[in-house]
Amino acid sequence: MTETDIRPLRRWFKQYVQSFYSPDADIQAHVRLKEEHTARVCDRMAELSTALRLTTEQRTLAESVALFHDVGRFQQYTQYRTFNDFRSEDHACLGVRILRQAGVLSDLPQSQQELVQKAVRYHNGRDVPADSVEAVNLARMIRDADKIDILAMITSEDELFRILPSPEFGGMAQVSPGTVEFILQGHVARFEHIRTAADQMLFRMSWLLDMNFAWTFQMVREKGYLEKMAAQLPQTDSVRRVVEFLSDYRERRAAATV
Ligand SMILES: [Fe+2]
């Protein structure tokens, strides 16, 4: 896949997203949010590709995964008025279905079509399933690039840009002990255990335990994402233990060569 091959994909994506533009201000805001997120994830993916010294072929494949990773979000929000997969449907599966129905990838070799679809499919699950080295690597790349942008949104000083805690959760004051212990054992907190906005913040902090590349950890450090998220939490002993645990982990991983 070359730069020439990706141009029609970018054009298709742009037109596809614009087909969801709506006079309804709520839909429009959510469509734009994901359109802008996608553009930034493409940029992060390009930076990660450089850090990993990928070939042009691999870079363009990675970019197309970034371009399409959230392609399901536009229909999801328009149809269900939520980005919550549990209350609607898995946006990654929906995205793969959309790509297939539209035949967007049909000019690519079969093996590359499959790789892009697999990486889109695997971008949001708890784990990446066992698969070929290439599929797993692309999935890991999109998961890291995606998380970096979500962390940027959570910690943004721009009020309009910042992702606020989900309204269905209670306040920031209470941290559930189960969530803390789970993270200290080295696991990403479980989405279904989130009870409060503080748990949700801890859940997102614990994403560090599911990041793959030294580049990603260096980015987390450079931007101070962990510290910025921690500052929004009550400064209790258990929060301090989690922050220390995660920052030690970040330092170890940032120092690795890949
Ligand atoms: Fe996604």
Question: pLDDT value at position 206?
Answer: 96
pLDDT of amino acid 64: 98
Q: Do 181 and 67 fall within a single domain?
A: no
Same domain? 102 vs 126:
yes
Q: How far is the CA of 49 from the centre of ligand 1 (A)?
A: 19
In a domain, 78, yes or no: yes
Q: Is residue 96 part of a domain?
A: yes
Residues 46-75 have a mean pLDDT of 97
d(CA 63, CA 160): 27
**Mean pLDDT, the chain, integer:** 93
Domain boundary (153, 184, 206) is at 153
The two structure tokens encoding residue 112:
């590359």
For residue 100, the CA-to-ligand 1 centroid distance in Å is 17
Whether 163 shows a pLDDT value over 90: the answer reads no
127 and 179 co-located in one domain = no
Domain that holds residue 46: 3-153
Residue 242 placed within a domain: yes
175 in the same domain as 147: no
What spacing in Å lies between the alpha carbon of 226 and ligand 1's midpoint?
21
Which of 153, 188, 209 marks a domain boundary? 153
> Are residues 110 and 218 both part of a single domain?
no
Residue 166: what pLDDT?
A: 65
Three-state DSSP class for 170?
A: strand
Same domain, 141 and 62: yes
Rounded Cα–Cα distance for residues 41 and 18 (Å):
18
pTM of the complete model beyond 0.85: yes
- pLDDT category, 14, cuts 50, 70, 90? very high
How many domains is the chain partitioned into structurally? 2
Residues 236 and 111 placed together within one structural domain of the fold: no
- Residue 237 Cα to ligand 1 midpoint, Å, equals 33
Q: Which of 97, 120, 153 is the last residue of a domain?
A: 153
Is there a single domain that holds both residue 9 and residue 71? yes
Q: CB burial class (10 A; 0-12, 13-18, 19+) of residue 199?
A: buried
> Do both 249 and 145 map to the same domain?
no
133-156 b/e (C-beta count within 10 Å ≥ 16 → b):
ebbbbbbbbbbbbbbbbebbbbbe
CB 97, CB 105: distance < 8 Å: no
**Contact between residue 248 and residue 187 where contact means Cβ atoms under 8 Å apart:** no
Query: Considering the domain boundaries, does residue 178 fall inside one?
Result: yes
Instruction: Let me know whether 129 and 220 are in one domain.
Output: no
pLDDT of residue 192: 79
Q: How confident is the model at residue 193 (pLDDT cuts 50, 70, 90)?
A: confident
Can you give the pLDDT at residue 165?
60
Would residue 160 count as lying in a domain? no
Measured in Å, residue 236 CA sits from the centre of ligand 1 at: 32
Whole-angstrom Cα distance, residue 43 to residue 219?
13
Statement to judge: residues 125 and 245 lie in one domain: no
* Residue 158 located in a structural domain: no
**Distance between Cα 50 and ligand 1 center (Å):** 22
Q: Is residue 110 part of a domain?
A: yes
Distance 204 CA to ligand 1 centre (A): 14
| Judgement on whether residues 28 and 82 belong to the same structural domain of the protein | yes
Confidence band, pLDDT 50/70/90 cuts, at residue 22? very high
pLDDT tier at 41, thresholds 50, 70, 90: very high
- 159 in a domain, yes or no? no
Say which CATH number the domain at 126 has: 1.10.3210.10
